[in-house]
Amino acid sequence: MNEVDWDDLKLFFQVASEGGLAGAAAVAGLSAPTIGRRMLALERTMGRSLFMRSQQGYRLAPDGEVLLLHVETLRKTVSDITRWHGDAFTLPIVSIGGDIWLGGFVAERAMELRGKTDGFRLCCKRLLPDDNLTFRHGMIAMFYEQPQSGNFAVSKSVTMAYCVYRAEDERWNTDLPWISIGTEVAASSAEKWVFRNHEQDIHSWTNAPELLPKLIAAGAGRGVLPIFLGDTLPGLIRDGEPIAELTHPVWLTVNDDDRQRPEVRLTLDRLTDLLRRNAALFSGQEAKTARQPIALTAVPRL
């Protein structure tokens, strides 16, 4: 049996709905003779008489009425599939942006910020200190300095501290060199600190900040990391006290027009709570922290 062409079935539906070739031609953008030939070919393919033809137009034959019911079912199924497919691209997006360290913290805890049944999509983005949020809607930014202008809602979050780290195997090495983040990519004061203070003793550097902890763990030297990261990485130990001049708050920033959007508000509440629960880790008051999952329901608002 020959397979029926879906395009021919759509034409059949239009002829049946319009009561003839002329009406179907106007809808389909094809000529009436072309549609007429397509309907004859469809009847031959199916081995059934679908229409009763007359000067008054096309009326459905009994087999045509049965086919129409099947085509209507198919049309509804196709419509449902199309709508279901489209829903995946109509969910609103909430973005959380920060530097590579805060971005990594968020990414590792993404399931605490968006539940499996939440009606939005989550995007983790890397932001530079001078990035402008004016036209970035649906964005929750984590900055190290409070924005001084713009239509933003700003909230002071945790205090973030930094320390020098070395590999645990190099605990007693008194001549350990320094590792720096390349000056061409260093953006924050913490990323520039080693170069500014120990330039002569830098033996290794990287323009990919995410490699810095690996270089330290490998014993290539000592370098500066956020305490919330360094204290939780195996094989690293602190080399001295936190660097007071680098300590700063984290500022949660969102476009004021967006903050009452339900998905933005919910994500902001969850992020605020997540940071609050890890405040001691960020400030360096504890060396390790157990990650406790949070219920994705109501949490305290700002």
Is 284 part of any domain? no
Contact 147, 253 (CB under 8 A): yes
Residue 289: pLDDT band by 50, 70, 90 thresholds?
very low
192 lies in the same domain as 233: yes
CA torsion through residues 192, 100, 217, 168, sign: positive
pLDDT, one tens digit per residue, over 47-66 is 999 999 888 778 899 999 99
0.85 exceeded by pTM: no
> What integer pLDDT is reported at residue 54 of this predicted model?
83
DSSP classification of residue 188: S
Selection from 89, 93, 90, 69 nearest residue 9 by Cα: 69
Q: Which residue, 72, 87, 102, sits at the end of a domain? A: 87
Helix (H, G, I), strand (E, B) or coil at 152: strand
Is 297 part of any domain? no
Helix (H, G, I), strand (E, B) or coil at 138: coil
Helix (H, G, I), strand (E, B) or coil at 123: strand
Q: Whole-number mean pLDDT of the chain? A: 88
Residue 237 gets the label, from left (phi > 0), alpha (psi -120 to 50) or beta, of beta
Q: 214 vs 22, 94, 127, 183, CA distance in Å?
A: 73, 31, 22, 19
Weakest mean pLDDT among 191-200, 253-262, 273-282 = 253-262
153 lies in the same domain as 98: yes
Token code pair at residue 42: 């469809």
Domain limits for position 180? 162-246
245: which residues sit within 8 A by CB, 6+ positions away? Answer: 189
Average pLDDT in the 207-233 region? 96
Domain count, the chain: 3
| Helices (runs of H) and strands (runs of E) counted in the chain | 10, 12
> What integer pLDDT is reported at residue 302 of this predicted model?
45
- What is the rounded distance in angstroms from the CA atom of residue 43 to the CA atom of residue 84? 33
**For residue 31, is pLDDT > 70?**
yes
**For residue 299, is pLDDT > 50?**
no
